[in-house]
Amino acid sequence: MTSSETAAALQRALDLSREIVAAAEGGDVEEILRLDAERLRLLKSLRQTMPTLSPADRSMLRVIADLNARSIGRMEHRFRAKCRDMDMLTAGRRAVRAYAHHR
């Protein structure tokens, strides 16, 4: 892979990472999975060129990793919020059952 092809692949992976962050903000799991699969394919294609990456390319990889961590954090936050909602729903149902016979 030439250096210009490597740079183009890294730029596309960076663009995909930004799209993943946006999808994570909206909670679109299917879109995240689709974009992540494409990004993974690109990054795997770069594996042979890793030892010869320039400092700028390595910097771009760090940005991609940071965006990935941000996406994961956002999805974990959404997951915890859903779990809290489910806990509240369960507590509400228990309360309804407990007080349903005390009219």
What pTM was computed for the model? 0.79
Are the CB atoms for 47 and 1 separated by under 8 Å? no
Question: Around 39, how many Cα atoms within 13 Å sit in the side-chain half-sphere?
Answer: 21
Q: What pLDDT score was predicted for residue 101?
A: 78
**Mean pLDDT, the chain, as a whole number?**
90
Q: Measure the CA–CA gap between 7 and 27, rounded to whole angstroms.
A: 30
Domains of the chain, CATH where assigned: 3-99 (1.20.58)
Look at residue 46 in the predicted model and tell me its pLDDT.
Answer: 86
Confidence class of residue 53 from pLDDT cuts 50, 70 and 90? confident
Determine the average pLDDT of the residues in 83-95.
Answer: 91
Please check whether residue 13 is in contact with residue 49, taking contact to mean a CB–CB distance below 8 angstroms. no
